[in-house]
Homo-oligomer: A and B are copies of this chain.
Amino acid sequence: MTPRLVALDWGTSSLRAWLLGDAGAVLAEKSAPLGILKVPNGDFAAVFRDVCGDWLAHSRPAIASGMIGSRQGWVEAPYAPCPAGFEALARGLAWATTADARLAIVPGVSCVDASGVPDVMRGEETQVFGALDAPDGTYVLPGTHSKWVTVAGGRIESFATHMTGELFAVLREHSILGRLMSVDAAHAPDAFRRGWETSLAGDDALLHRLFGTRTLGLFDQLAPVAAPSYLSGLLIGDEVRAAVRGLSESTVTVIGDPMLCDRYGEVLAGSGVTARAAPPDAARIGLWRIAVEAGLVDGGRPPELHRQA
Residues on A lying within 8 angstroms of B by beta carbon are 113-115, 117-120, 145-146, 160-164, 166-167, 170-171, 173-176, 198, 201-212, 215-216, 218-219, 221, 235, 238-239, 242-243, 245-246
Contact = CB atoms under 8 A, between A and B. Distances in A.
A173 B166 CA distance: 13
A38 B171 CA distance: 24
User: What is the total number of copies of this protein in its complex?
Assistant: 2
A245 B175 CA distance: 27
Contact of A211 (B161, B208, B210, B246): B161
Nearest to A162: B207
Contact of A205 (B120, B201, B221, B242): B242
B113 A162 contact: no
A202 B163 contact: no
Nearest to A111: B215
Contact of A207 (B114, B115, B163): B163
Contacts of A115: 198, 201-202, 209, 212
B204 A204 contact: yes
Contacts of A218: 118, 120
Contacts of A245: 203
A208 B118 contact: no
A227 B115 CA distance: 17
Q: Which of A113, A173, A201 has the most CB of B within 10 A?
A: A113
A205 B162 contact: yes
A8 B166 CA distance: 40
Nearest to A117: B212
Given A115-B202, A204-B242, A205-B243, 5 more contacts: A117-B215, A163-B211, A203-B242, A204-B204, A205-B239
B242 A118 contact: no
A118 B174 CA distance: 22
